[in-house]
Amino acid sequence: MSSRRAILAQTRVELILTLRRGESLLLSFLIPLGILVFFSKVSAVKTSSNPVNFLVPGVLSLAVMSTAMVGLGIATGFERRYGVLKRLGSTPLSRSGLLAAKTINVAVIELMQIAVIVATGLALGWDPDGRFFLALLLLLLGTVAFAAIGMFLAGTLRAETTLAAANGLFLVLLFLGGMAYPLNRLPDVLASVARVLPAAALSESVRAVLAGNNFPWSELVVLLIWAILMPVVVVRTFRWEE
Amino acid sequence: MSVTDLAIEVVGATKAYGALVAVKELSFTVDRGEVFGILGPNGAGKTTTVEMLEGYRFPDAGTIRVLGLDPKADADELHIRVGVMLQEGGLSPGLKVSETLRLYAGFYLSPDSPERLLDLVDLTESRNTTIRRLSGGQRQRLSLALALVGKPEVVFLDEPTAGMDPRARLVTWEIIKNLRASGVTVLLTTHAMDEAESLCDRVAILDQGSLVAIGSPRDLTSRAGGNETRFTAPPNLDRANLAVALGLEATFVREAKPGEYLIAAEPTPELIALLALWLRDENVQLGTLEASQRSLEEVFLRLTGEGDHS
């Protein structure tokens, strides 16, 4: 087990590096905010009476997906490529310590994203009628699932391939995620595929609890399966050296 | 010497990657405070050996002990007491030099001072440079500082001076000599024979995964025999006559180039005296006289068969 001192040192560096990566900030903050503002002002697709009530849960899910899957996955893939993971392996920072630092990093960035999105949503007229704590728990579950997908890519593919795959997956899941427009706008076949993917499960369930609707049991089950299955896959497939 | 004085103990270590046997029944020990070099051509198993000591790979057979500990079972303790410099990589390109050193200092309870280490590896002026902008040699020196920041008892350096300019190389040599002076055990791999000769107390020469020689550089060069005596004088001397005077077969005296003579015999005091007498008798003016040993490089090339095709 690493000392708290070692984990803190690593966490500090993880945060420095994340905040220094311009493209990852663009992905984590500007894209979710852009979608929120654009789709609330331009009614490209008809949603419920108040588009912001639809958009905020979707954009929160998008934010989690960008940080946990894309940001973490690409950064870790390149750390593997550059031998950083290997080199850390012979320091007193244990693997669990490294994982802890990366987890804290993702959590801090996500809290910043949530704060900015919630503030922007409220400014745009969001009036939630729901259980915030439950929404946070669902976002946490989504974080586990997406982080594991990102780590799976990072631990098995070459760094460039991880970069392309994570960004590609981000786009696909954005379109199939019920984030910017409702799932029922998709063709039936696509919609049923989307319902078993983690993106739609997250956005639909967060939307349901924030709107005060019935508890989204089926979405929760899908999300749980991804959040349990993917970490197991990562542990079995992750290679520390490229 | 008791077992506890051993910094490193390798007994019958074997490691294969599929059908390729990288290291075959390798055994050697390194005493505490020793500077030990592993030499060998590319693919000889140097890095595999070092990475087994570092705990990155585990032998298929045999045992490995570092400071009396098992690199696998006692990894946590070894990570505190051992410093590592990988052959390449390991640095985050987006981090600054000082940030990197500070990070690693944060991993240890009583680390060495980052400022002192920056000064030691001559990177103080680059402290605020991001690693992506460093030259290869500068990265090597930073990696060396990172290997030392935890005040390790044993340091593993995989080709520490590869890609360094001559000045950086000298800086690194000086650091390694100082490590020995302060009792730190250093195990390094190198391609540079002058490095091994001037730094290492003992060297092991690997070829195709097996140990082919081990000992101090001086041992290896004298054990190899084949020493010779060279001198320069006017060209076209009577070599047969000289050979008789020296008590040697005629073929033992050659004129390598006009005026450059080579006697294939140890430069013993007797031989030198006989040579001097002959020069006086023949009234030959001596240019230079040189007693040469086989260099470690020649020994290396002969043992590893690298000179076969040259």
Predicted ipTM of the assembly: 0.91
Asked if the Cβ–Cβ distance from B107 to A83 is below 8 Å, we say no
Distances (CA, A) of A233 to A130, A227, B224: 34, 11, 55
Q: Which of B184, B190, B195, B223 is nearest to B205 (CA)?
A: B190
Distances (CA, A) of B86 to B63, B90, B131: 22, 7, 16
Find the closest chain A residue to B51 by CA distance: A90
Contact partners, residue B244, CB within 8 Å, separation at least 6: B250
Helix (H, G, I), strand (E, B), or coil: what is residue B127? Answer: coil
Q: Chain A partners of B107 at a C-beta cutoff of 8 Å?
A: 2, 5-6, 9, 91-93
Interface residue of A81, A90, A94, A98 to substitute, partner B, most B CBs within 10 Å? A90
Write the residue in B79, B93, B99 that is nearest to A16 by C-beta. B99
pLDDT, tens digit, for every residue of A42-61? 765 565 578 899 999 999 99
Report residue B233: phi and psi, to 5°: -165, 180
Report the b/e string of B62-96 with b at 16+ CB within 10 A: bebbbbebebeebbeebbbbbbbbbbbebbbebbb
Asked if the Cβ–Cβ distance from A17 to B92 is below 8 Å, we say yes
pTM for this predicted structure: 0.85
Asked if the Cβ–Cβ distance from B92 to A16 is below 8 Å, we say no
With helix as H, strand as E and coil as C, how does chain A read? CCCHHHHHHHHHHHHHHHHHCHHHHHHHHHHHHHHHHHHHHCCCCCCCCCHHHHHHHHHHHHHHHHHHHHHHHHHHHHHHHCCHHHHHCCCCCCHHHHHHHHHHHHHHHHHHHHHHHHHHHHHCCCCCCCCHHHHHHHHHHHHHHHHHHHHHHHHHCCHHHHHHHHHHHHHHHHHCCCCCCCHHHCCHHHHHHHHCCHHHHHHHHHHHHHHCCCCCHHHHHHHHHHHHHHHHHHHHHCCCCC
DSSP state letter for B191:
S
Contact of A93 with A2, CB cutoff 8 Å: yes
CA dist B306 and B208 (Å) reads 12
Q: Which of A73, A49, A54 is nearest to A167 (CA)?
A: A73
Asked if the Cβ–Cβ distance from B107 to A92 is below 8 Å, we say yes
pLDDT, tens digit, for every residue of A155-181? 999 999 999 999 999 999 999 999 988
Q: Chain B partners of A5 at a C-beta cutoff of 8 Å?
A: 106-107, 109
Helix (H, G, I), strand (E, B), or coil: what is residue B227? Answer: coil
Using CB atoms within 10 Å of the CB of residue A113, give its burial: 0 to 12 exposed, 13 to 18 middle, 19+ buried. Answer: buried
Place of tokens 């392996």: A89
Measured CA angle at B68 (ends B65, B69), to 5 deg: 70
* pLDDT given for residue A46 in this prediction: 60
Q: Chain B partners of A79 at a C-beta cutoff of 8 Å?
A: 92
CA dist B278 and B272 (Å) reads 10
Mean pLDDT of chain A, nearest integer: 93
CA dist A4 and B6 (Å) reads 32
* pLDDT given for residue B1 in this prediction: 46
Write the residue in A79, A87, A94 that is nearest to B86 by C-beta. A87
Q: Chain A partners of B142 at a C-beta cutoff of 8 Å?
A: none
CA dist B298 and A90 (Å) reads 36
Question: Is the CB of B267 inside 8 Å of chain A's CB atoms?
Answer: no
Shortest distance between the Cα of B150 and any Cα of chain A, in A, equals: 9
Distances (CA, A) of A13 to A20, A98, A105: 10, 11, 9
* pLDDT given for residue B121 in this prediction: 95
Asked if the Cβ–Cβ distance from B108 to A92 is below 8 Å, we say yes
Write the residue in B86, B95, B99 that is nearest to A83 by C-beta. B86
B151 token code pair: 């005040």
Write the residue in B82, B90, B104 that is nearest to A86 by C-beta. B90
CA dist B202 and B213 (Å) reads 10
Place of tokens 């400022």: B115
Question: Is the CB of B89 inside 8 Å of chain A's CB atoms?
Answer: yes
Question: What strands lie across the sheet with B20-31, from one edge to the other?
Answer: B20-31, B6-17, B61-66
* pLDDT given for residue B131 in this prediction: 97
Asked if the Cβ–Cβ distance from A90 to B54 is below 8 Å, we say yes
* pLDDT given for residue A167 in this prediction: 96
* pLDDT given for residue A50 in this prediction: 83
Asked if the Cβ–Cβ distance from A9 to B80 is below 8 Å, we say no
* pLDDT given for residue A3 in this prediction: 85
Asked if the Cβ–Cβ distance from B79 to A92 is below 8 Å, we say yes
- B 146-205 residues inside an 8 A Cβ radius of A: 146, 150
Pairing of strands B228-232, B260-263: antiparallel
User: Whole-angstrom distance between the N-terminal and C-terminal Cα of chain A?
Assistant: 25
Instruction: Name the helix (H) or strand (E) containing B46.
Output: helix B46-54
The parts of chain B modelled with pLDDT lower than 50 are: 1-2, 307-310
Place of tokens 């044993």: B154
Shortest distance between the Cα of A89 and any Cα of chain B, in A, equals: 8
Find the closest chain A residue to B77 by CA distance: A92
Question: Is the CB of B107 inside 8 Å of chain A's CB atoms?
Answer: yes
Asked if the Cβ–Cβ distance from A92 to B76 is below 8 Å, we say yes
Q: Where are the alpha helices (DSSP H) in B86-192?
A: 97-105, 114-120, 136-148, 166-181
- B 15-74 residues inside an 8 A Cβ radius of A: 54-56
Find the closest chain B residue to A78 by CA distance: B92
Write the residue in A3, A82, A87 that is nearest to B93 by C-beta. A82
